Each structure stands twice: as structure tokens, then as C-alpha cells.
Amino acid sequence: MLVTFPHMGNAYIAMKSVLEDLGVEVLVPPPCTKRTLELGTKYSPELACLPLKLNIGNYIEAIERGAEVIVMAGGCGPCRFGYYAEVQREILQDLGYSFKMVVLERPQGNVRDFVKKIAIITGGKTVFRVLASIKRATRVAVLMDELERLCWQIRPREKSGGTVSRLMREFHSQALNTRGSVGLAALIGEYKDRISRVETKGNKEVLGIGIVGEIYTVIEPFVNVSIAEKLGDLGAEVDKSITVSYWVINHLIKEALHLHNKNELQEASYPYLRSFVGGHGQESVANTVLYKRRGYDGVIHLLPFTCMPEIVARSVLPEVSHRYGIPVMTLVLDEMTGEAGYMTRLEAFVDLIRRKKEMKGLYGERILSGD
């Protein structure tokens, strides 16, 4: 029984880890490409958000390669993500594919149902073993995000451009052939070591750009046209407010146990957005404020076209930007996104905040440009 799941940036590493530790045969769908997107847009509702369409593309490409079971997450609103699985199942069924879809969501009172679903995937492993492998996979997700964070830090400072990105490509191709949490953790460790040894220009001043927005567009490089890489090459150190490990730990584990402490986020977003709006809308506003407090120079807000929670965030962000004096650029992503247009906007944004920083420097002691 070959199990597959949709892509979301580096989330496949954690998924691979948990499933392989349980002895499940895993088929990682091929990385998102133009074809994935074309398949997705062809068969999905026109106005559905981009992640749904790419998921469909992932499923089809995985089923073509022999996947039989699809593992998908669920939710209980108000963001559309919670109903994705229902719509996706209908679409695939109407296309005539044969598959089984297991939707994992927070059990609403019915824990037995949840355990049964897990048993379908794992073939009846004990709950203890499942929990243990979830714990190990969470550790792998944390390590993976540390590796990514290291890349964000090194990239704008490296001496010969492109080394980090080349190493990461190498890493991803090796990760596909590495099995289980132990192997993956070792591989991540090895590359962390190699990347931290990349030669850098020691004391180069870099810009700080925070990336906020809808989780899929923030994490999946195919959708955001590798924004972290591009900004790094433009000389900006990025930070993403949402990562896979953050999502797993806070939304899947802590939320289920009612431990998720949202006070800081609520306090930061309060004057502008005073309520939870689903998805990561409130986080987007709060993190913009927090990035300013932490001394970042600019914020980029990403959302897929028609994303409901982020539209609310988008409508209050100009006010936040104005009040706190932090430049915010919103990029709406859909299947029409052209890379060149996107690049132009990123360059312009980086130039703008670099100049802003320089102007401040003129009256201080340091001028930034010209290395």
C-alpha cells in the first residue's frame, strides 16, 4: 500500500519521517512543477485558492506513479482549508481515479474515529508507536527549519553567490532517498555543517525582511517563486513568521491540548484586528508588528488569490504599516503569477528599504551601499 500526501515546502521531510518510521511505504509526489499546476487548475473550481489546485496536481501525479492512499489534513473553519479534502475527493472520484483518502483532523469528541483512521495508514501499529514516531518527526521538522533558517542567514552574506542554493538542491535530492527519522536527521545535520562552513563576508550589513501571510504561500517555494532565495541573493536576510515546525507544534499539538498561548499575537494585532479571522490572518498582522519591534526593515505579505482570512489582514495592513513606519508589500499569488514581474517588484522593494535605511545612516555613521 503506497501512501502519498500533498506537498508544502519542506513538510514532506517530516511526513516521510513519521510514515517511514511506522513502516509505511511512502511515495513523495514529484516536486511541484508547471504540469502540477496545470493539472490542478484544469480540474479544480476556478475561484478556489491556489493550494487546493496544487494539491490536486500533486495527487494526480502521485496516483500516476502508483499511490493508493492519500493522507490529507482537515480542519473546522472558517478558512476554506477545512473543506479541501471533501472537494478534492469529489474531484478525483469524478476523474475516475481509484484511491483511498484519509483525512486527519483534530478529533471533535470522537477519538476512536481518529485512531481508526491512523490504523488505516499504519496497518494497526500501537498508539504508543504512532506517538513516538510523531515525536521524532516533530524533532526532524524542527531541525529542518533550523537548516532553512541557517540558509536565510548565510545566503545574503556568502562570498560566491549561489553556493547555499546549490547545496540545498543537493540536499533535497538526497533527502528523497533517505529513509526514516534517523537517516533524515543525520542528513540534515551533515548539510547544516556544510552550509555553515560556506565562506561569508564577515561583517556585511544586510537588510532584514520578514515574510508573513498564508502558510502555503509562505512555505512552498514553487508558489512564492522561491522568495527566500531571491531576497537572499538581493542581499536581504529573511525570516518567515510561519514554518512547518511552528505549524506542527502550535497548531497540531498545542492547540489540540489547549496549550497554544496566543497572548503575544493578540496583543500585537489588537488595535488593528481584534478577532481571530481563520487561517493565519491575525498572525500576519501581529507578526508585522513584531517584526518592526525586532528591528526588521520591511515586511512582505503573501497570499493566494481569494484567500479569505488574508484579505481581512490585507485591508488592515496599510494602517499598521503607516502607524509603525514599516514598509509592507503585499503579493497576491495565483496561477498567472509571472516570475519576471514578481522579480521586478521584489527588487524595487529591496531598493526602497535599502535607501530608507541609508537615509537614516547618513545622519549616523554608516553608509550601506557599495559594500
Partner 1 sequence: MKPRVGIPRALLYYNYFPLWEVFFKELGAEVVLSGLTNKKILDDGVNCCVDDACLPMKVFHGHIIELKDRVDYLFVPRLISVERNEYICPKFCGLPDMVLNSVKDLPTVIDCTINLRNSSSSLRRAVLDVGRLFTGDYRRIYTAYRKAVLCLESFEGLMEKGATPLEAMKGDYSKAGEYHYSIGLIGHPYNIYDNYMSMRIIDKLRDRGVNVITQDMICSNELDRIARDFSKPMFWSFGKSIMAASRYLIDKRHVKGIIYLVAFGCGLDALVGDLVERRIRKKGIPFCLLTIDEHTGEAGIDTRLEAFIDMLEWGGTAKCW
Q: What residues line the site for partner 1 (CB under 8 A)?
A: 44-49, 52, 74, 76-80, 82-83, 85-87, 90-91, 94, 103, 108, 272-279, 281, 305-309, 311-316, 318-319, 332
| Residue 276: CB minimum distance to partner 1, A | 6
Nearer to partner 1 (CB atom), residue 77 or residue 189: 77
Nearer to partner 1 (CB atom), residue 132 or residue 311: 311
- Whether the ω angle into residue 327 lies within 30 degrees of 0, i.e. cis, is no
Q: How is residue 156 annotated by DSSP?
A: G
Cα–Cα distance between 251 and 213 in angstroms, integer? 16
| Residue 114: CB minimum distance to partner 1, A | 14
| Residue 288: CB minimum distance to partner 1, A | 13
| Residue 35: CB minimum distance to partner 1, A | 22
Nearer to partner 1 (CB atom), residue 100 or residue 194: 100
Residue with cell 474515529: 113
| Residue 306: CB minimum distance to partner 1, A | 6
| Residue 359: CB minimum distance to partner 1, A | 28
Nearer to partner 1 (CB atom), residue 223 or residue 228: 223
Nearer to partner 1 (CB atom), residue 305 or residue 324: 305
Please choose, from the candidates 73, 61, 120, the residue with its C-alpha nearest in 3D space to the C-alpha of residue 216.
73
Residue with cell 483518502: 101
Phi, psi of 197 (to 5 degrees): -95, 0
Cα–Cα distance between 84 and 73 in angstroms, integer? 9
Nearer to partner 1 (CB atom), residue 94 or residue 193: 94
| Residue 319: CB minimum distance to partner 1, A | 5
Residues 6+ apart with CB under 8 A from 71: 3, 4, 5, 15, 19, 102, 104, 121
Cα 279-291-79 angle, rounded to 5 deg: 5
Cα–Cα distance between 185 and 347 in angstroms, integer? 35
Nearer to partner 1 (CB atom), residue 86 or residue 199: 86
**Residue-wise burial string across 64-84, b where 16 or more C-beta atoms lie within 10 A, e elsewhere:** eeebebbbbbebeeebbbbeb
Cα–Cα distance between 290 and 192 in angstroms, integer? 28
